[in-house]
Structure 1
């Protein structure tokens, strides 16, 4: 086994109260691809900062190989002293590093390098910081939430880039699909200590459940052992003048371990408050358009949203997802066309910029709108402290200003407020940002089981696949031109349908090319053949009917799959139809090519005659 280039052992750190880190560790070897997982507030970012040398632990051993280089992705990069993004990114290079790497990375991250760092948005600042830390290709690359504010094409590019890098990786991310594709080892930080699984994130959740089940069993056994020892103390051998002091000491130790055991941090317990049922037709958009500075964002788009639909909007940054969303719910007027909203709509909105948060507000004031210390949830009066506990906030945080919360805690707080408000139309703009995996699971269950209508914008592929019934995406994702298409199913289903459409276009293009290339030549085949065989004549006569039948079968299945409700009602049937459609298209392509070859051969023979 290769020696580690970074090792943390028995790391301890406390900010008062329950220790944040109570014996945590981390070991990194060359080529490692480690994802660091755990609940919000479990100390993941702190442990990573200790590894990067930015925070000192109170105790424990830290070893960094003297010759190794480490780069850490800052959440709030410092651009002081840099006039352009290019200069900021190049400042992270060491002597001998390739400066072209900066240009390459900035280009793929959607930046020119000429931007003024003082005017960057949060997402642009994150991308600039990514370019700075990735350009030197350090021995260890530490990335804390690298996919936040990145669009799907950039996330998929980043996955490939990280898989190719020579750097060892330590990653923190809420994006399941990203972790599954990049990681080969998992470190779980839980209740201040760490456990390592030498397999990627795809195996983590089943392993975690096994660990917690074994822990619960051990705790149960310990409780039974304490009961037996207490029984012995009371009713055991009485002839002895003294109790067995050693055994009594062991009992005290067991009692201490049993009482001091902290189970895993509780899961969020919440249920959305639903208003009265809306009308069947929730939104009707007719030929709506929107342009900015001559560029089409939405071009003649029409759709109907029915009660119970769960629609996901995807696309690259700048494609117009939020603009389209705001037009659909009436917050933004289209340049032309009309949008009609249905009856009895109660809308709850989660904004990606978290603009609804006043940093000076306390948690209690924010959740109750300043109306005392109770709020109405599902028709029931709840004390704000008890309701906060459902979302893993401690009672002592009731007077905590929002500005003191982490990003994940702020996201949880906004979810708590939205779920308390009665609604039948949920609007979620990047709802998964900063949420830990367990809270993501809860949000997934809420969206999937919501009786109303949901429209959401997300770059989280796994979340989309698990929740939405249809997906809206630009018709041309590489160069958005304002055209949008609705696909049945989630993100993966959209990719499958797009691939089928692309294959069909390629097939038609090949067919057209074959026809244009088919020029009369000397019938060499005719030298050996004077006429078609019986089998060839039969195929030439019957293939048109078979092709027509295949085209009808394809059209019938495409019509069925165009129903957005099909995926929700019958996902198995949807997948079966998709496979049948793919097979029919392959058969049709084969028959067309066979018919074309036979027709050309017939013309050659007749011309030779």
Structure 2
């Protein structure tokens, strides 16, 4: 049964129509992903369905008594309220009494001698006894248990991920038929995203969501809504099938437009023929030409993709960063303990982990912006660093878009070529009008693109990206992936986007808040599987009753993992192993030859027992070296 149906939905804010006579139908329990480029109107459509924005035109039919709730992209500031109060607010005015009851009960538990509190507690209890207040209390407690949160905790004291859970609970407590989600994975770490996926897969609520996280989209969506140049189309398939079909559709559209333009050109030639031809003009053909002109004028071309070009820098030294035994505590708790690594030129290192585990701290230590309390960090030669800040702190809200990118003038230089700043910004999909406007008018995705435009002007051989994909549309994320794969210098990448990590990095450093930094080959999948396996094992060993905090997800089968590229240190090992094997075999041959002579045993300086032990050791080391060489050779061949 359809929950809602919209017909002839039209919205315009003075420019091209964001929705042009669009149609939309959402069925019960289905999960739809809304896709489209930044600025196409995805968030506007969600706000229309939430009742916040009124369309210019549209005919809406809904299931009687339908309940729709929305989980916004940004986390609001809610000072002074507990998690219980925040969640109960999802039930409107009816929740005020039960929220106050919980607050007064908590205060009275701290000071039972306060008679005013005791009297107020009695009043509130009487009100709840004579209303449906206790049913509201049951609903709130039930949904808090489902999301694994303590209702007495202060909302502002929660981590970003747990704030997101509390806001989800506030939306769920009203028992909605349809839940609208705008970038639901923002502020969540990877285990939090996995929990969210599993939670929604078990929840019989219809979902309409916007997300740049392709792994989340692939796991959650059973249908796609595509918003493109004001047209809203539905694709009843998974995300990967949609990509194939949409590509074919765009190719067909391009062919149809090409044929149309050719026909129009021929008719324009005809209409301009001489006087004699005009006397015998076919009036029907003239009217058809006028209609073709009007149709061509109304055509909305798909805007070009962003063009991301990086400024080349001189090559850095071969060893980029060396960390030896570094440690760093925060408020007496260890964030990093005894961590040692070497980052070589060309390494692409992903950094992921739990929220608050120290990812940004590790990044600052490696870059030398923080001094380790233990150990040392040494940088190689000729380093040129470009840094992408997830908080967008490098942008000045008082300056225009163009001034934020290059405040020094109108001309920028990219790989030795001079370009006007407006032309350069067009590569990042900023019009001349937008480029001259203050950045406070930009959306989150536009701000991310602006920071990339500024970043790529800097010549860099060490690129540092802290959550670069937040707010970007999927197409720009994929283009950024391509540029990073082409980048032949060194990359440090902090991200919770699993697909982005898996497609870009050569190895991953994972943090879980226990001070340990765990290193894995390739992207985040191996860490996620390892983390969940250890979580499950820990839960199985525990005999104490625990409050349910999150759904456990079976470890991912990595037995058929795609071939990966060699790490730089593995590449070095592959080069050096043949020489090591030759050295070991030469020593073995020389020692075995000496021990095979009669003179060897007659010389008191020789120790047959020790030399026999050394022979056995050389044989063992040689076999291990051969096995390692074969393993790395197979990896190298598989990655080609």
Q: TM-score, normalised by structure 2?
A: 0.75
Q: Give me the CA root mean square deviation.
A: 3.1
How far does residue 227 in structure 1 lie from its aligned partner after superposition? 3.7
1:360-509 alignment, distance < 5 Å: 360-368=398-406, 370-474=407-511, 477=512, 480-494=513-527
Is 1:300 aligned to residue 341 of structure 2?
no
State the alpha-carbon separation in 1 of the partners of residues 78 and 490 from structure 2: 46
Provide Cα deviations, 1:34-65, integer angstroms capped at 9, x if missing partner: 00000000000101111121110011212222
State the alpha-carbon separation in 1 of the partners of residues 12 and 300 from structure 2: 16
Tell me the residue number matched to 2:141.
Answer: 100
State the alpha-carbon separation in 1 of the partners of residues 277 and 419 from structure 2: 58
Tell me the residue number matched to 1:51.
Answer: 49
State the alpha-carbon separation in 2 of the partners of residues 237 and 181 from structure 1: 66
Q: Secondary structure at the match of 1:334?
A: coil
Q: Is the 8 A contact 1:106 1:113 kept in 2?
A: no
Q: Secondary structure at the match of 1:5?
A: strand
State the alpha-carbon separation in 2 of the partners of residues 364 and 391 from structure 1: 12
Q: Secondary structure at the match of 2:28?
A: coil
Cα distance 1:138–1:310, how it changes in 2: closer, same or farther (>3 A)?
Answer: same
State the alpha-carbon separation in 1 of the partners of residues 380 and 212 from structure 2: 35
Which of 209, 216, 220 is residue 258 of structure 2 equivalent to?
220
Q: Is the 8 A contact 1:151 1:316 kept in 2?
A: yes
How far does residue 365 in structure 1 lie from its aligned partner after superposition? 1.1
Provide Cα deviations, 1:96-120, integer angstroms capped at 9, x if missing partner: 562233322553xxx6444544677
Tell me the residue number matched to 1:155.
Answer: 193
1:208-357 alignment, distance < 5 Å: 208-230=246-268, 233=271, 241-357=279-395
Q: Secondary structure at the match of 2:364?
A: helix
1:56-205 alignment, distance < 5 Å: 56-76=54-74, 83-93=81-91, 98-107=139-148, 112-117=150-155, 125-205=163-243
State the alpha-carbon separation in 2 of the partners of residues 557 and 27 from structure 1: 62
Tell me the residue number matched to 1:26.
Answer: 24
State the alpha-carbon separation in 1 of the partners of residues 91 and 276 from structure 2: 77
Give structure 2 stretches of 5+ with no counterpart.
Answer: 93-131, 539-619
Q: Is the 8 A contact 1:312 1:456 kept in 2?
A: yes
Q: Is the 8 A contact 2:462 2:491 kept in 1?
A: yes
Q: Secondary structure at the match of 2:219?
A: helix
How far does residue 273 in structure 1 lie from its aligned partner after superposition? 0.7
Q: Is the 8 A contact 2:68 2:180 kept in 1?
A: yes
How far does residue 449 in structure 1 lie from its aligned partner after superposition? 1.0
State the alpha-carbon separation in 2 of the partners of residues 118 and 424 from structure 1: 40
Cα distance 1:7–1:470, how it changes in 2: closer, same or farther (>3 A)?
Answer: same
Q: Is the 8 A contact 1:151 1:317 kept in 2?
A: yes
Cα distance 1:355–1:112, how it changes in 2: closer, same or farther (>3 A)?
Answer: farther
Q: Which moves more between the two structures, 192-201 or 98-107?
A: 98-107
Q: Is the 8 A contact 1:52 1:71 kept in 2?
A: yes
Cα distance 1:76–1:175, how it changes in 2: closer, same or farther (>3 A)?
Answer: closer
How far does residue 503 in structure 1 lie from its aligned partner after superposition? 13
Q: Secondary structure at the match of 1:72?
A: strand
State the alpha-carbon separation in 1 of the partners of residues 626 and 248 from structure 2: 43
Q: Is the 8 A contact 1:311 1:470 kept in 2?
A: yes
Q: Is the 8 A contact 2:311 2:457 kept in 1?
A: yes
State the alpha-carbon separation in 2 of the partners of residues 561 and 8 from structure 1: 62
Q: Is the 8 A contact 1:487 1:497 kept in 2?
A: no
State the alpha-carbon separation in 1 of the partners of residues 429 and 85 from structure 2: 42
Cα distance 1:112–1:35, how it changes in 2: closer, same or farther (>3 A)?
Answer: same
Q: Is the 8 A contact 1:73 1:129 kept in 2?
A: yes
Q: Is the 8 A contact 1:286 1:337 kept in 2?
A: yes
How far does residue 126 in structure 1 lie from its aligned partner after superposition? 3.7
Where relative contact order (Cα < 8 A, 6+ residues apart) is larger, the structure is 2
Cα distance 1:239–1:413, how it changes in 2: closer, same or farther (>3 A)?
Answer: closer
State the alpha-carbon separation in 1 of the partners of residues 627 and 165 from structure 2: 40
Tell me the residue number matched to 2:9.
Answer: 11
Q: Secondary structure at the match of 2:396?
A: coil
Tell me the residue number matched to 1:358.
Answer: 396
How far does residue 242 in structure 1 lie from its aligned partner after superposition? 4.6
State the alpha-carbon separation in 2 of the partners of residues 208 and 5 from structure 1: 26
Q: Secondary structure at the match of 1:91?
A: helix
How far does residue 496 in structure 1 lie from its aligned partner after superposition? 6.5
1:547-562 alignment, distance < 5 Å: 559=628
Tell me the residue number matched to 1:515.
Answer: none
Provide Cα deviations, 1:433-461, integer angstroms capped at 9, x if missing partner: 01101110111012111111001111000
Q: Is the 8 A contact 1:8 1:51 kept in 2?
A: no
Aligned residue pairs, count = 516
Cα distance 1:555–1:218, how it changes in 2: closer, same or farther (>3 A)?
Answer: farther
Q: Which moves more between the two structures, 201-210 or 402-411?
A: 201-210
